[in-house]
Structure 1
Amino acid sequence: MTVIHRLSDLLINQIAAGEVVERPASVLKEVLENAVDAGARAIEVQLEQGGVRRIRVTDDGCGIGRDDLALALERHATSKIASLDDLEHVGTMGFRGEALAAIAAVARTTITSRADGEAHAWRIDGSDRALAPAALGQGTVVDVADLYYNTPARRKFLKSEGTEYAHCDEMFRRVALARPDIGMQLSHNGRVAHRLPPAAPFARIGALMGDDFLQHAREVAADAGILRLAGFASLPAYSRAGRDAQYFFVNGRFVRDKLLAHAVREAYADILHGSRHPAYVLFLELDPAGVDVNVHPAKIEVRFRESRAVHQFVFHALRRVLAESGAGMAGEATMAATGQPDAAAAGDATPAPSGALPAARFSTTEAPRGGGPRGWPQAAPQQGRLAMESASRSYFDFAAGARGAASPATAGAAAPFAPQPLPAGDTAPPLGYALAQLHGIYILAQNAAGLILVDMHAAHERILYEKLKTVLDGRPSVQRLLIPAVISVGAKDMAAAEECADVLASMGFDVSAAGPQELAVRSVPALLAGAPVAELVRKLLEELREFPASEVVTARRNELLAAMACHGAVRANRQLTLPEMNALLRDMEATERADQCNHGRPTWTQLTMADLDRFFMRGQ
Structure 2
Amino acid sequence: MNSHAPNIRPIIRQLDETTANRIAAGEVVERPASAVKELVENALDAGATRIDISIEDGGKRLIRVGDDGCGMSPEDLPLAMARHATSKIDGSDLLAINSFGFRGEALPSLGAVGRLTITSRADGADGAVIAVAGGKPSPVRPAAANRGTVVELRDLFFATPARLKFMRTERAETQAVAETVRRLAMAEPWVGFTLSADGREIFRADAEQGELFGALQARLSRVMGRDFIDNSIPIDAERDGLTLTGFAALPTYSRGAAVAQHVYVNGRPVRDKLLTGALRAGYMDVLASGRHPAAVLYLTCDPQMVDVNVHPAKAEVRFRDPTAARGLVVSALRHALANAGHRASSTIGDATLAAFRAEPVVAQPQRAYQMEYRPSGGAIRQAFEAQAPVLGPGFSEAPTARSEPVETAAPMDAPLGAARAQVHENYIISQTEDGMIIVDQHAAHERLVYERLKAQAEVSGIASQALLIPEIVELSEGDAARIMAIADELAGLGLVIEPFGGGAIAVREAPAMLTRLNAAALIRDILDDLADQGSSDRLRARIDAVLSSMACHGSVRSGRRMSADEMNALLREMERTPRSGQCNHGRPTWVKLNLSDIERLFGRKE
TM-score tier, shorter chain, comes to: 0.7 to 0.9
Gap runs ≥5 in structure 1: 334-412
- Residue 327 (structure 1) shift: 4.1
> Among 572, 579, 601, which residue is 2:558 paired with?
572
Deviates more, 1:239-248 or 1:497-506: 497-506
> Among 544, 548, 553, which residue is 1:558 paired with?
544
Specify the SS of the correspondent of 2:433.
coil
- Residue 12 (structure 1) shift: 1.2
- Give the alignment of 1:308-323 within 5 angstroms: 308-323=323-338
Deviates more, 1:519-528 or 1:445-454: 519-528
- Residue 210 (structure 1) shift: 0.9
Counterparts of 1:96 and 1:462, CA distance in 2 = 51
Task: Establish whether residue 503 from structure 1 lines up as the match of residue 489 from structure 2.
Answer: yes
Partner AA of 1:164 in structure 2:
E
Task: Establish whether residue 33 from structure 1 lines up as the match of residue 41 from structure 2.
Answer: yes
- Which residue does 2:97 correspond to in 1? 90
- Which residue does 1:299 correspond to in 2? 314
- Contact 2:410–2:419, Cα closer than 8 Å, also in 1: no
Counterparts of 1:118 and 1:172, CA distance in 2 = 30
> Among 443, 450, 455, which residue is 2:428 paired with?
443
- Residue 449 (structure 1) shift: 2.0
- Which residue does 2:236 correspond to in 1? 221
Task: Establish whether residue 54 from structure 1 lines up as the match of residue 62 from structure 2.
Answer: yes
- Which residue does 2:119 correspond to in 1? 112
Specify the SS of the correspondent of 1:172.
helix
- Residue 445 (structure 1) shift: 0.5
Partner AA of 2:405 in structure 1:
A
**What CA deviation, in whole Å up to 9, does each residue of 1:315-337 have, x standing for no partner?**
11111111235545699x9xxxx
Partner AA of 1:439 in structure 2:
H
- Residue 549 (structure 1) shift: 4.3
- Residue 541 (structure 1) shift: 2.7
Counterparts of 1:191 and 1:119, CA distance in 2 = 32
- Give the alignment of 1:167-246 within 5 angstroms: 167-199=176-208, 200-224=215-239, 226-246=241-261
- Give the alignment of 1:113-512 within 5 angstroms: 113-126=120-133, 127-199=136-208, 200-224=215-239, 226-327=241-342, 418-420=405-407, 428-474=413-459, 475-512=461-498
Task: Establish whether residue 73 from structure 1 lines up as the match of residue 81 from structure 2.
Answer: yes
- Contact 1:70–1:124, Cα closer than 8 Å, also in 2: no
Counterparts of 2:345 and 2:116, CA distance in 1 = 56
Specify the SS of the correspondent of 2:271.
coil
Change (3 A) 1:543 1:225: closer
Counterparts of 1:120 and 1:10, CA distance in 2 = 27
Change (3 A) 1:213 1:245: same
- Contact 1:185–1:195, Cα closer than 8 Å, also in 2: yes
- Contact 2:401–2:425, Cα closer than 8 Å, also in 1: no
**What CA deviation, in whole Å up to 9, does each residue of 1:551-597 have, x standing for no partner?**
22211100001111111222211111111111111111111100110
Deviates more, 1:56-65 or 1:482-491: 482-491
**What CA deviation, in whole Å up to 9, does each residue of 1:322-372 have, x standing for no partner?**
1235545699x9xxxxxxxxxxxxxxxxxxxxxxxxxxxxxxxxxxxxxxx
TM-score scaled to structure 1, two decimals? Answer: 0.83
- Contact 1:124–1:132, Cα closer than 8 Å, also in 2: no
- Residue 616 (structure 1) shift: 0.9
- Contact 1:121–1:137, Cα closer than 8 Å, also in 2: no
**What CA deviation, in whole Å up to 9, does each residue of 1:391-450 have, x standing for no partner?**
xxxxxxxxxxxxxxxxxxxxxx9979513467777xx31101111111112110111121
- Which residue does 2:582 correspond to in 1? 596
Task: Establish whether residue 22 from structure 1 lines up as the match of residue 30 from structure 2.
Answer: yes
Counterparts of 1:423 and 1:276, CA distance in 2 = 36
Change (3 A) 1:325 1:10: closer
- Residue 201 (structure 1) shift: 1.4
- Give the alignment of 1:509-524 within 5 angstroms: 509-524=495-510
**What CA deviation, in whole Å up to 9, does each residue of 1:66-101 have, x standing for no partner?**
22211211211111111342x212110011111111
Counterparts of 1:502 and 1:441, CA distance in 2 = 44
Partner AA of 1:590 in structure 2:
R
- Which residue does 1:391 correspond to in 2? none
Q: Percent identity?
A: 47
Specify the SS of the correspondent of 2:513.
helix
- Contact 1:248–1:281, Cα closer than 8 Å, also in 2: yes
Counterparts of 1:211 and 1:414, CA distance in 2 = 37
Gap runs ≥5 in structure 2: 1-7, 209-214, 349-399
**What CA deviation, in whole Å up to 9, does each residue of 1:25-74 have, x standing for no partner?**
00000001111011111111011111111000001111122222112112
Specify the SS of the correspondent of 2:237.
strand
- Residue 481 (structure 1) shift: 2.1
- Contact 1:109–1:125, Cα closer than 8 Å, also in 2: yes
Counterparts of 2:170 and 2:126, CA distance in 1 = 40
Partner AA of 1:89 in structure 2:
A
- Contact 1:478–1:526, Cα closer than 8 Å, also in 2: yes
- Residue 133 (structure 1) shift: 0.8
Counterparts of 2:401 and 2:184, CA distance in 1 = 59
- Contact 2:242–2:299, Cα closer than 8 Å, also in 1: yes
Specify the SS of the correspondent of 2:593.
strand
Counterparts of 1:192 and 1:417, CA distance in 2 = 57
Deviates more, 1:53-62 or 1:212-221: 212-221
Counterparts of 1:490 and 1:225, CA distance in 2 = 33
Partner AA of 2:440 in structure 1:
D
- Contact 1:422–1:432, Cα closer than 8 Å, also in 2: no
- Contact 1:30–1:99, Cα closer than 8 Å, also in 2: yes
Specify the SS of the correspondent of 1:123.
strand
Specify the SS of the correspondent of 1:528.
coil
Counterparts of 1:113 and 1:434, CA distance in 2 = 69
- Which residue does 1:366 correspond to in 2? none
Specify the SS of the correspondent of 1:88.
coil
- Residue 282 (structure 1) shift: 1.2
Partner AA of 1:463 in structure 2:
L
Regions of 4+ moved over 6 Å: 413-416, 422-425
Partner AA of 1:280 in structure 2:
A
Change (3 A) 1:173 1:202: same
- Contact 1:325–1:591, Cα closer than 8 Å, also in 2: no
- Residue 604 (structure 1) shift: 0.2
- Contact 1:496–1:545, Cα closer than 8 Å, also in 2: no
Change (3 A) 1:416 1:235: closer
Specify the SS of the correspondent of 2:500.
strand
- Contact 2:242–2:301, Cα closer than 8 Å, also in 1: yes
